[in-house]
Amino acid sequence: MTTTMSRPTTRSTPKLDAPEVVKGLRTAFGTGQTRSYEWRRDQLQAMKRMLVEREPEFMDALAADMGKPPTEAYAADVGFVVAEIDYTLRHLRRWMRPQRVYAPLVTKPSRARLMREPLGVVLVIAPWNYPVHLLLAPVVGALAAGNCVAAKPSEVTANTSALLARLIPEYLDTDCIKVVEGGVTETQALLAEQFDHIFYTGNATVARVVMEAAAKHLTPVTLELGGKSPVIVDETANLEVAARRVAWGKFLNAGQTCIAPDYVLVAKPVADKFVEHVRRAVFDFYGHEPKDSPDYARIVDARHWQRLVGLLDSGTAAIGGQHDEKSRYLAPTVLRDVAPDSPAMQEEIFGPVLPVLTVDSVDEAISFVNDRDKPLALYLFSESKDVQERVLANTSSGGVCINATVFHVVVPGLPFGGVGPSGQGAYHGRSTFETFSHTKSVLHKRARPDLALAYPPYTERKDKLLRRFL
């Protein structure tokens, strides 16, 4: 790699006073300034300027934290948020308009509508794997909905956290958006406060802590988690294309992606060919020595690197397996001969290790998936329409890609979220705006005429009329 990664000491917000942070945000929200279209628009435009004008600094921070190649850093972190802002700005006026709904005859003369109003003060807690994208994309929706925001970047990617903490106050409304740096102590301090919504992206263990803290205040939560996202490859699949797309989705960001393919269930007759196509794809992407490729990232820290290296014993490395602790390098790796109860199949891998298991039929693959927790994503490679519909109808997952991996995340009209252990709630595009809004039901009824039909005393005639018009 041409970039030297640095590991700065975890930064904390100086003398964090969490109650005072939340109080300040509530005071700002109480002024009503965040409710106007103009304020929301201005904040989103300012965030876009920050990302565009300071892009080199974001590239440097992401490279220092994770060795992210510039193209990946832009597409999956900075550019993703810019696209989300552009989409939101194009549609924000329409999203904010009241929505007329049907009012039944018994309520006439009247009109009914839905109004979206901001929740108030919200907390966004981001992970380290896409530290710009996964902090700012939820914040885009929170600001678009008219909220004040406490934003907690991950302390693991300390360079990016420090940059966000420095730049956000330069561009955005400092009364309404606060960045809180730090680790467990600072996160716990924030969770002790009462928010109107908490948006957490990360692992299930911390999610339980977040839910427990939120329950004390009856605070709603959105949890974007993960799990073991499976790939099913049947005999009709274009194996070369399938292998390239699986390899790309898996080894993007060195596998540190919540929707990365976690394992492959491939039809036994084509398993060897599929693996050979993956081998070719890895060579095409990263050359003979991925360690020397400028396009291959590194594991975020020593703890995660050690955990991933330990998973290599779950099978035989058909591809890769090389590793270097000093640079936190782990080669793109494919494991064969993996038992379903091996360590690599018991936890989300979240790294560049891909177990490939064989199945005798699509039905066996469906049963294998259904015997485990519902995943955040499911990927199917098949040219058979019947197989495609069968898998869609008989499995449950947060999202699905057919003959692709990962790309469903970039479609703003597709809500992104998990189901069961892989998460609750969804965002992206309008879904993010809706997540951070309260939909208020409003009925307008005229004072005249004031029909006595609904009032006591109830008569046989009133009863008949009510039964007819309800």
Catalytic residues: 224, 258
The 10 Å Cβ neighbour count of residue 440 is: 11
Tell me the C-alpha distance between 76 and 261, whole Å.
16
Q: Contacts for 304-308 with beta carbons within 8 Å, 24 or more apart?
A: 304/256, 304/350, 304/351, 305/330, 307/351, 308/349, 308/350, 308/351, 308/352, 308/353
Read off the DSSP letter of residue 193: S
Q: For residues 250 and 58, what is the distance between their CA atoms, to the nearest angstrom?
A: 24
Please count the other Cβ atoms lying within 10 Å of the Cβ belonging to residue 468: 9
Element (H, E) at 121: strand 121-125
Pairwise CA distance, residues 357 & 271, whole Å: 8
Q: Are 137 and 427 in contact (CB under 8 A)?
A: yes
Report the alpha-carbon distance of residue 403 to residue 237 in Å, rounded: 8
Alpha carbon distance 147, 165 (integer Å):
19
Helix (H, G, I), strand (E, B) or coil at 443: strand
Name the residue among 427, 267, 265, 444 with its Cα closest to residue 357: 265
Residues 141, 129, 250, 78, CA torsion sign: positive
Burial 218-240 (b: 16+ CB within 10 A, else e): ebbbbbbbbbbbbbbbbbbbebe
Distance between CA 369 and CA 413 in Å, rounded? 26
**Phi-psi region for residue 32, left (φ > 0), alpha (ψ -120 to 50) or beta?**
left
Burial 451-465 (b: 16+ CB within 10 A, else e): eeeeeeeeeeeeeee
Angle between the 133-144 and 79-96 helix axes, to the nearest 10 degrees?
A: 10
Q: Which residues contact 197 (CB under 8 A, 6 or more apart)?
A: 119, 122, 123, 147, 219, 220, 221, 222, 435, 436
Structure tokens at 420: 């069961």
